[in-house]
Chain A
Amino acid sequence: MSPPTAAPPAPQPDTPSPLARAGSRVASARMPTYAITGLLVVTVAATAMLQSGFFTAYGLSSTFATILPLATIAVAQTIIVLSGGIDLSIGTIVTLSSAVTVVLMEGDNARLPLAIAAGVAAGAACGLVNGLIVAVLRLQPIVATFATSFMFGGAALLVLPSPGGSASPVLTETYRMVLALIIPVPALLLLILWLVWRILRAHRVGQYLYAVGGSAAASYTSAVPVTRVRVLAYTLGGTVAALAGVALLADSGSGDPFIGNELTLGSIAALVIGGTRLRGGAGGAGGAILGAIVLSLIQGLVFFAGIPTDARELVYGGIMIAAIALAGLLTAGGPRQPGRTA
């Protein structure tokens, strides 16, 4: 199957202009990168056509405000999946973190930093629990995190028994700000998240994640601290999931003891569409972010295309299958390197 994007401009060796360098990077990218980029272009174009106000300040800021929580949780899941694990409790970690944050914040700007720190710490602690259970006790990740999802979801209900509490005005207002007329704050946060991921990937810890996910046995013989890397992956994932919880809080402005629970499967769908291998060792958070954007836009498209409300879920599910199949086909046809994508 040929890549859906147009052929990149030929690199010019003598004068490596930024454009040419970008071109050569596109050329060296793995097939899933083409797939997800193609999907992104198609969905953005379709959305812009069907939704008249898409490129207005409100259109962009509301779109990114919706995307950021899903994209963040998809990045969290990607870190765990890359290391060879999976986390079915990740949605409840999001819920618990946002519950802790909102309860401590009490709508007070002065308490914002401490409340967010506590929420993130709660997420990291949940991740650590998952990591210890999976890597040290060696329980099956799917079953173990399914079980811990009830623990974390239950803890969220103890912290915040019924919907309520309010986020501080600074948090909710900043989240809705649009900089330089067209750059919504959530889009900027998404960019920062991706940059932090790039730094992690370049770091030794990032290399270890791929190594352990690719082959735990080979990593072990190469003196990679496999158990510690796995625990770290879950802890990092929990920490990033907590940030998704804060984003949800900023978006809704109020606490809810179930707010993140349904995001778990969405996070897995986003990373698969983004070209991450569910067995671990290949893929990346950049793809997961694009996958989350595509998923979110498709959901909007189904509405704006005028499909009757009762048929929307069916159509959405069908398109999602097509997107996953496309990503899967192109991944299978790609070069056999245990490599990475953006």
Chain B
Amino acid sequence: MGSIPQRRSRNWRSLAALAAGGVLITATACSTPEAGGGGEDGGKEGPFTIGVSNGFIGSEWREQMLATLQKDFDEYKSDGVVDELVVESADVDVNGQIKQIRNLIKSDVDAIIVNPNSPTALDKVFGEAADQGIKIVAIDQAVESKDVTNVVIDQGEWASISAEWLAEEVGDGGEIIAVNGIDGHPANEARWEGAKKVFDDAGVKVAANDYGNWDQATGQQVTKDLLASHPDVDGIFVQDGMALGAFQALESEKKVGDIAITGEARVGFMKRWQEQREGDGDFTSIGVPNPPSVSVSALHVVVRMLEGKKFGDSLEGNSVYLPIPETVTDENFDEQFDAVKDEPDTYAVDHSVTAKEADDYFQ
């Protein structure tokens, strides 16, 4: 089995030889054979090697994130823009992700796309990467490091969409329970902050709040327990990745239709939603897509960064906020469901910016 670094160094050697022979016409001044030797501001010579660091593999969402990335990467590859996608993906803690990123740095990647496990604890290793001239893009959740460009959706806004729907359903003075993701997780905190504000403003009381780790089975158990201790609530706020489980808990308590529940834009849940629509006209729900293909959007952005393009006014702080895709509602359900119903149950309704839309982020 050929090793990655050996292949890489061969590529670089041949590139250097070409450059020395004057065959390769360099548009910019820098073509040093050392990895990451590109200038801070000028563009580099392709093809680029892109590293990926993913620190959590317990969800189908992450698999879809990696699979769609690989697909679009292959398109860039056939165009000669990029050459290799080095993937580090495993269940790791912060230390493990620091190791992942160091491995990527040492594999001479030109850029790293990272789904970070911590908003702050990777700052120093991001600094190490930036020192080597590596561009870093964080997806799914934002980090604070100035060495990183976040390509994310606004998680607070994402959660407030379904929270507003639920607040409307239960009305002023209504009582709800909340099934959130992972306690202390940055995306979870941002989401709950957004949702909680909506509930407070609407006079909705949160009777209890627990965590289902973005896992359907855990979400089902947590919902069941919360329903047992709070049988009289009017609604359930549940984050994506757990809504199907929460719905099943509601079903086993025979309370579907009595208690309003936020849904998710995933095929498994949408199938149940469809059944309810066919059976009982009263059932209503909402699914706000959280697109796994944020990885693809990030790829478009990072390639342009490597080419030396400068951001326009799309950058807020160090973040580029992607549009949140159209919400799945009772009104547009049939159309949305038709588009994805042949996908596996775990498939999440997806969206990424196109290469052309990504161009608009830059000057």
Contact = CB atoms under 8 A, between A and B. Distances in A.
A69 interface: yes
Given A59-B106, A62-B105, A304-B3, A253 B87 contact: no
A341 interface: no
A162 B183 CA distance: 8
Consensus secondary structure, chain B interface: helix
Contact of A52 (B9, B89, B105, B125): B9
Contacts of B106: 51, 53-54, 58-59, 62, 304
B98 to A, nearest CB: 6
Interface string B98-140: 1100110111100000000011111111001000100000000
B186 interface: yes
B3 A252 contact: no
A165 B99 CA distance: 21
B1 interface: yes
Interface string A96-127: 00000000000000000000000000000000
B95 A161 contact: no
A172 B118 CA distance: 17
Given A252-B121, A252-B124, A256-B94, A51 B102 contact: no
A254 B95 contact: no
Nearest to B184: A162
B93 A306 contact: no
B89 A309 contact: yes
Contacts of A263: 95
Contacts of B186: 163
Given A262-B93, A306-B4, A163 B119 contact: yes
Interface residues of B, number: 37
Contacts of A258: 93-94
Contacts of A253: 120-121, 123-124
B189 interface: yes
Given A62-B102, A172-B124, A254 B5 contact: no
A54 B119 CA distance: 29
A176 B127 CA distance: 11
B17 interface: no
Contacts of B231: none
A254 B143 CA distance: 12
B5 A50 contact: yes
A265 interface: no
A50 B107 CA distance: 10
Given A176-B128, A252-B95, A164 B4 contact: no
Nearest to B89: A309
Given A251-B95, A252-B124, A309-B87, 18 more contacts: A53-B108, A162-B189, A163-B119, A163-B120, A163-B121, A166-B120, A172-B124, A253-B120, A255-B121, A256-B94, A256-B118, A259-B95, A300-B103, A303-B103, A304-B5, A304-B107, A305-B1, A312-B90
10 contacts: A52-B108, A62-B105, A163-B118, A254-B120, A255-B121, A256-B120, A259-B94, A259-B95, A259-B121, A309-B90
Interface of A: 50-54, 58-59, 62, 66, 69, 161-166, 172, 176, 248, 251-259, 261-263, 299-300, 303-307, 309-310, 312-313
